Structure 1
Amino acid sequence: MTALAEKLSDLSVHVGDIEARIAAFRGTQERFRDQKVSALKSGVQARIEDLDTRIHNAGDDISSVWTGINQSLKIKAEQIQALIESKRQATDAQRAEHRTQHLERNALLAIEFAALAIEEAEVAVSEAVDARLHANAIAAKHQPDVAFQLNAPSRKQHQV
């Protein structure tokens, strides 16, 4: 299995596990839910920083595009989080309902964005696979020439 196929497989497992984790979260006692959400946010932040580092270390044209996308996503996430936090301390039913609606819209948009990102990942992997197959086909066309050169008698052998 190629590294790209393994990454896609990992993504599939991760997405499949989310539904079960959310179902389990619903059953979590209220006092532990904030801790769980904080742990999730910390995990996401760590993955963002890791991705930033890998993108920066790659330093090519493709990576620079992803740096811009990643920075834009971080800014948007911070803006959304600020809006959510400003409404977090809702004490009356109307404010609590309004906050809940905001969070549900945020969740829906995050899911839709994730679906688009997964589709973009599929396109990127397909393009990479196509490029690999093309490169292999070109190499195979030139391989007989290399094999001929390797099997051809050298000038020293002709002189004997």
Structure 2
Amino acid sequence: MKRGVSAVFLDRDGTINVDYGYVYEKEKLQFIDGAVQGLKLLQAAGYKLIIVTNQSGIARGFFSIEQMEEFHKNMLDKLAEEGVVISRIYYCPHLNGCECRKPQLKLFYQAQKEFDLDFAKSYVIGDKLRDLALCEKEPVKGYLINAEKKIIAKDKNIIICNNLLSAAKDIVGFKNHESY
């Protein structure tokens, strides 16, 4: 019997790295406090790490695909230095009207097919409700981080928490918060 792979889908800007608006300059890459530790914890627990990100700055002409890819290479290199492996970054370069821009689900389903993922054993972490759209259609638990208090996650599959590290600790059932 084939058992699918467990994964954690991650938004990029505002979840892993600081979102200063249309993030693409590799020199300005700054990881959010606790993000790298959270990624390490998830990876150590056996989850495949996959980034799904909207990058409308490309369609708006703020930066090119090449500049975004340079940013991604820099991010992946810095994470690799910390022992973190991101399996793949999926991105939507469009503004609207496509099937790949979150809250649309095309990129999630593409990842599921490419990596033989089991949604029932997977999670989504993001800083906007649209990042967690997969939770509405599939048996995936979501974590909304850095959320304003006025946002109420009505869906029982969505938990509000402070940051990626706190989401990771909840996912793995981490008890010893002192170590990370």
Structure having greater relative contact order (Cα 8 Å, sep ≥ 6): 2
Structure having the higher strand fraction is 2
* TM-score, structure 2 as length reference: 0.28
Normalising by structure 1, we get a TM-score of 0.31
Q: Which protein is bigger by CA-based radius of gyration?
A: 1
Query: In proportion to residue count, which structure has more helix?
Result: 1
